[in-house]
Structure 1
Amino acid sequence: MSPEYPIRLYGGVFYRLIRDCSWGNIIEKIESVAAKFGSICLKVNPKFTSQKCSHCGHIQKENRNKERFLCLNCGFFADADIQASVNIGVKGLKTLGISQSKLLRVPQKVTPKPELTGSFNREKSALLEAEPGNPQQLSLFEWVNGEAIPC
């Protein structure tokens, strides 16, 4: 079992749920959960996102070979799915009119809650003292007694 795909630990339950749902229902559920938490759900055309290099912008079908991405123009390499998700994120930011360079300057100051890590005695840095814990993660399914139940 690959650590890159921990969802397999659930015995394919997640895959069966996805297979049995229509894509329209999945999108509707994602939009509903995002609205519930005040988040934006934006549909982005994924065309060429798995073939485009996020470093130099070069698009070529041969850049992607199954799960590996290697730009034949600049030599950048990465996991193909991660590379495609970066490109989808960039398209979304452009659609919303958000500059990627400004977004990357936002400092990441979130630390896990002590009760989640099991470390109650750890000292907090002065910078993080006033910061809240991690925000609640959105989920489409809840696991109850080993079964996935839609939220």
Structure 2
Amino acid sequence: MSVNPAFTSQDCHNCGHRAKKSLSTRTHECPNCGIELYRDTNAALNVLKRGMEILGMERSNSTQGHWETGGKP
């Protein structure tokens, strides 16, 4: 199983907006939600999110970094 890396550096991990940029642009600045971070960090968070979706899990947004199953009580 693998994650398709297409658009992981262009899609905002926070809101999903696609912000096209050249390869020389090293930051991700989303015009939709305003988040700013390194391009590679944004891509890594998107790969993580896609991988968790494949596994049927979701990542909690808490600062403790808990991982939970996708099922709701």
TM range, smaller chain: 0.7 to 0.9
Q: Following TM superposition, by how much is the alpha carbon of 1:65 offset from its aligned partner in structure 2, in angstroms?
A: 5.8
User: In the alignment, what sits opposite 2:4?
Assistant: 45
Do the aligned residues in 1 keep the contact of 2:49 with 2:58 (CA within 8 Å)? no
Residues 28-83 of structure 1 show CA distances to partners (whole Å, capped at 9, x for unaligned) of xxxxxxxxxxxxxx421001100011111111214x86211100111100000011
* Structure 1 residue identity aligned to 2:66: R
Residues 11-41 of structure 1 show CA distances to partners (whole Å, capped at 9, x for unaligned) of xxxxxxxxxxxxxxxxxxxxxxxxxxxxxxx
Which stretches of structure 1, 4 residues or longer, exceed 6 Å deviation after superposition?
none
Please give the TM-score of this superposition, normalised by the length of structure 2.
0.74
Residue 19 of structure 2 is aligned to residue 57 of structure 1:
no
Query: Where do residues 22-41 of structure 1 align in structure 2 (5 Å cutoff)?
Result: none
Which segments of 5 or more consecutive residues in structure 1 lack a partner in the other structure?
1-41, 107-151
Note the aligned Cα RMSD (angstroms). 2.5
Which segments of 5 or more consecutive residues in structure 2 lack a partner in the other structure?
68-73
Among candidates 59, 69, 73, match of residue 32 of structure 2: 73
Q: Following TM superposition, by how much is the alpha carbon of 1:86 offset from its aligned partner in structure 2, in angstroms?
A: 0.5
Once residues 37 and 13 of structure 2 are traced to their aligned partners in structure 1, the CA distance between those partners, rounded to angstroms, is 10
Which protein is richer in helix relative to its size?
A: 1
Please give the TM-score of this superposition, normalised by the length of structure 1.
0.38
Greater RCO structure (CA 8 Å; 6+ sep):
2
* Structure 1 residue identity aligned to 2:43: A
User: In the alignment, what sits opposite 2:71?
Assistant: none
Query: Where do residues 1-151 of structure 1 align in structure 2 (5 Å cutoff)?
Result: 42-62=1-21, 66-101=25-60, 104-105=65-66
Do the aligned residues in 1 keep the contact of 2:5 with 2:47 (CA within 8 Å)? yes
- Please identify the structure whose Cα radius of gyration is greater: 1
Once residues 51 and 57 of structure 2 are traced to their aligned partners in structure 1, the CA distance between those partners, rounded to angstroms, is 9
* Structure 1 residue identity aligned to 2:44: S
Once residues 11 and 3 of structure 2 are traced to their aligned partners in structure 1, the CA distance between those partners, rounded to angstroms, is 15
Which protein is richer in strand relative to its size?
A: 2
